Structure 1
Amino acid sequence: MIERKTLKISTGPKTDAGDPRDSWGVKGKRLDRLHDMARDRRRNPTDAEKLLWTRLANQKLGGFKFKKQYIVGTSIVDFACPTVWLVVEIDDLDIDAELQAMSDRKLAEVGVRVLRFTNEAVLEDVDAVCAEILEMLKTPFEKPRRPRTPPVTPVADAYNAGY
């Protein structure tokens, strides 16, 4: 009896569709470096970050849980509320606008909403900033779903194809 062999086309490794970080594939030394950088940023926050964190910590803002200096993909965001896929960034006025746009686009592609504020806006009127964050937290949204990968299909061998 002749043993038939079939070929299969693989579309890549299967990943859990619930975790947006899977699409970036950050591993090894790069991930370790991101963890170190995030830890350093948590230990040395700016004045605006300190002030806003006093309002976000311990679920003070609408009962939503925030994490500070959170790793999302290949970036470290200032504050994240993973349950509603919202990121809050506090920036200096001299930050590169192209870099911001690219970061926002990458996050939006996986369904993460981004709110950006300047240091000055937070320091001058933290109540208005918190009101805007709370409004976004309460706004319903639908996280985009990843397209399903087609099932792995066997390719007919030469015998089955009639050759």
Structure 2
Amino acid sequence: MSDRDASSPSPSGEGLGWGAPNGSLAERARHMRRNPSEAEKRLWRALSNSQLRGLKFRRQHVIGRYIADFFCPAIGLIVEVDGDTHRRERDICRDRTMTDAGFTTVRFTNAEAMGNMEGVLLRIVEVAAALPPRRAWRLPHPNPSPEGEGLKAH
């Protein structure tokens, strides 16, 4: 580890979920889970325990070189709550990287999460409804026999 304080970002923003080495990302994600913003706390109360349409979200989840505020692996949905420290240029680059990797990102400001939770949740539901299940997260289908065994009735 460098002499630089691990909690402060480098000039390029590395170290705070913007491209830090994997070892420090896991530590940073744990720190962020223990110290959420008030907006993140409020949104987590609505997303935890599959309360929102049965969607299971993870909080401060490492994806590649980034930390997603909230992540639903079943559909590849990333939900970000942006405070004053977010930089639009970085967010655009990050979102493009996530899109290229097969994920969809929806962003809200702290003010939206604090003042319009119903609208935030409705938007998450709208985006989620438009996304198909991700292949990597689907349960494997049994290989049916010629007699049709192994097929589930729907």
Same fold (TM over 0.5): yes
1:36 is aligned to: 27
Q: Give 1:30 shift.
A: 2.3
C-alpha distance in structure 1 between counterparts of 2:89 and 2:65, whole Å:
16
Larger Rg: 1
C-alpha distance in structure 1 between counterparts of 2:43 and 2:88, whole Å:
23
C-alpha distance in structure 1 between counterparts of 2:59 and 2:78, whole Å:
10
Q: 1:110 to 1:142 in 2, by over 3 A?
A: farther
Mapping of 1:21-100 within 5 angstroms?
30-100=21-91
Is 2:129 aligned against 1:135?
no
2:102 alignment partner, one of 103, 106, 111: 111
C-alpha distance in structure 1 between counterparts of 2:33 and 2:122, whole Å:
24
Q: Which amino acid is the alignment partner of residue 81 of structure 1?
A: C
Q: Which has the higher contact order (CA 8 A, sep 6+)?
A: 1
1:57-108, CA deviations, whole angstroms, 9 ceiling, x for partnerless residues? 0000000100000001100010000110000000024521110010000000
C-alpha distance in structure 2 between counterparts of 1:32 and 1:128, whole Å:
36
Is 2:144 aligned against 1:125?
no
Q: Taking every aligned residue pair, what percent have the same amino acid on both sides?
A: 34
Aligned to 2:30, the other structure's residue is in SS state helix
Q: TM-score, normalised by structure 2?
A: 0.71
Q: Which amino acid is the alignment partner of residue 26 of structure 2?
A: H
C-alpha distance in structure 1 between counterparts of 2:82 and 2:22, whole Å:
23
Aligned to 2:74, the other structure's residue is in SS state helix
Runs of 4+ in 1 over 3 A off after TM superposition: 140-144
Q: Give 1:142 shift.
A: 7.8
**What is the count of residue pairs matched by the alignment?**
117
Q: Which amino acid is the alignment partner of residue 126 of structure 2?
A: E
C-alpha distance in structure 1 between counterparts of 2:90 and 2:36, whole Å:
21
C-alpha distance in structure 1 between counterparts of 2:121 and 2:74, whole Å:
18
In the alignment, structure 2 segments of 5+ residues that lack a partner are: 1-19, 136-154
Q: Give 1:141 shift.
A: 4.0
Across the aligned residues of Structure 1 and Structure 2, the Cα RMSD in angstroms comes to 2.0
Q: TM-score, normalised by structure 1?
A: 0.67
Q: Does the 8 Å contact 2:75/2:128 carry over to 1?
A: yes
